[in-house]
Structure 1
Amino acid sequence: MKAELVKKEGNKVTLKITVDNNKFEEAVNKAYNKTKGKYNIPGFRKGKAPKVVIETQYGKGVFYNDAIDMLFPEVYPEAIKELNIDPIDRPDLDIEEISKDNGLVMVVNVEVKPEFELGAYKGIEISKVDNTVSEEDVEARLNEMVNRNARLTSVEGKALENGDTAVIDFEGFENGVAFEGGKGENYNLVIGSNTFIPGFEDQLVGKKAGEEVEVNVTFPETYHAENLAGKPVVFNVKVNDVKVKEVPALDDEFAKDTTEFETLAELRADVKTKLEEQAKNAADAEMRNALVEKVSANTEVEVPEAMVQHQIDNMLMELNYQLQYQGLNLQQLLEMTGRGLEELREERRADAERLVKSSLILEAIAEKENVEANDADIDAELEKMAAMYNMEVEKIKSSLRETDIEDIKGQIKIRKTLDLLVENATIA
């Protein structure tokens, strides 16, 4: 295989890959053996016709496309490595020649990462972010824990108030006709949570278990169901039960019952330690983001559209994963918000361009500063992954593909590059 760089214009590169005739003929023979069962040749059982007979019947080049499909994934990676090319999109392939003398000659057009001059990235001034944890912060976290362990208890004869939970049956009607999705039984509704249509919960205040009420509300103009948007409706509601939240006392007993600690003092100290660690990590992340933004502002880069589109793809994939945890998906979100996919993609464009630009700059800094991910770095990362997933390190290693390892190396290099920027920054 021979690779040659033909031309480079901006981010567009043309290269020529030549495969000698012997290697190409080997691929043709492999293609024949793989596909010969597809051909029906009179006088031969299916799959038994000689190669020359099939070529006579269907043409000399009958196996060429399959042969090229076999060869290209093998020779293309070798070519771009030899020519030190870093593609960012799928290659566009043309066949220039197939002959005994010159073999297979392929011309490949592909978009590559842009070349640019790095601006200043050392001595950048950033502001120190406060990571102080106050006693009020600790108390608030303890109160969150207490509320998570609260119980709902039925109270006979109690009138509903804000904060109480009403267990209700309901059915909605528009012009006297029940509408889809407007019915529920034994639904737990926290009064004042604004879970239902504005005004719905207010009309339940003061009601007791066993009472029935007619709730009159109007759907918002922006409601996702167009047939109900802006429409006045009536809900027939029956209150089945009234429950109040019983919050446990924040004391030693609470610490013993809900955590591994014996006293509230020990729990409080642990909460403070964890909050301080979280605050430090958040402050570090904020300072690093500010540093990357300033470094990015110092460098002009023509951000390739292919990389922007790929980043948007990743962002929408992540959004879809997040929605799935809520029992939704991307298509449902679009329907609920009345937006199209292209509109959603366009909304993400500015962030995608910023992320692509910063990643290109960080990669360039890593290359200039010879930042590498060594074996010890990779082993440490695999140890973290093993602890996170509660797996043995060797099982983690055996499950990873070569591309996964390269991704891990890339992430480590970016982190080490950020460390280098922080070490060389002026933090005021």
Structure 2
Amino acid sequence: MEIKELGVDKNIVTKEYIFDGTDIKTAERRTLNELNRKYTVEGFRKGKVPLSVFKMRFGKDFYDYFVFEQLLEEVYKSFKEETNLLLIPEIVEKEINSENGRVVVNFHKKPVAKVEVEKIKVRIANKEQVLDNYLDLRLNSLKEEHAVLEPKEGPAEFDDLVRVRVFVVNKETGKVLIDGKEDEYVLYKEDERPTVKNVVGHKKGDVVEFDREFAGKEGESVTYHYKLEILEVYKRNLPELTDEFVKNNLSELHLETLEELKNKIREEGTKIYDDEIKHSIREQILAQLPDVTELFISEKTIDYAVRLIVNNMKEENKYEDYVKKYETEEKALESLKDYYVTELKKESAIEKLAKEYNIERKVSDEELEKYAEILAPYWGISVERAKVLAKEKPEIREEIENMIFVDKVIDKAAEKVQREIVDVNKEGEESEENN
């Protein structure tokens, strides 16, 4: 077998495998042995059918299929020497006869990527504003938690606490959903629930009734009748936050002054802010990577990749359902193509940046355990169990190692991206002037 390189098209290297008469004869003998093991021919003993009979019986397929399969084994052996492959090699041509043969193969290599992370712009919430909002929220929560309740005879007002007995019945069927359950809640002004709005203005002993309509099955509406018996109304007296309040009510924190409490809360807020911003920056960079990445890739590679994806989806009986999501099959294929290119750009960019930053995939056990601690709540298992899985399950370990690897690369890239500080309002949302 002789191998010739026919040419290079961006990331595709095309090679020709040439077989002479000796190669063909060897492949014929192997084919004969294989066919004699699988087939019987009337008039011949099992395993004793001559080559000429099989040639006559299978005709053109004898060389195009059976001998070709034998030659492919030699071709496949050479694939092991190919490096940096993106996809499985693609056989694009074949010509086999009794005298010689040739097989042409496209090797789709991983494309070269050009990444300009400096063009990425991430938006970061104003730290001081976020911490001020967090401080206000925590201090207000402390006031709410330590509110002094004073029974009142007058009508309930916003910010009062009410204790009610609740009855809910399906108005059409009479089915009882809630039968006298006691509940209590604060009447916050911003709370739009009817159970709040309808109670305001009523006093202890009053009965409040109203209907609520909900969407039911198949677009039909369902109406429920609510009856609330007001058992008690309390005026909430919020305490003033002072040094004395901190010492008397928050002794478990071992703090002496309100200022110490504020500093502690800001420390907590800073940690939360740093973690959230780090996560946000990672997400923003990953989302923008395809836009700042240019691939030196042939369209033939992209088309071949989509064909492989489609074949896999068909084998799993998923392709028809996928196409139904789009107006035409053409649009479905275009969506697959866009998705593949986008993901390939991300993957190629990560690999390129990793080499540039000298970041290896190797992960320590300590890093694995730390990541397992983060994932444990999402998996719904204990931290110790998560650590064991991360170390001992190869597929899980590989997945986590890749997550850590990507995080390392993105965190390094974050040092070079543009950053825009965004003001936030009291609700923690971006201010309108930023939009």
TM-score normalised over the length of structure 1: 0.50
Structure showing greater radius of gyration is 2
Between 1 and 2, higher relative CO (CA 8 Å, sep ≥ 6) is seen in 2
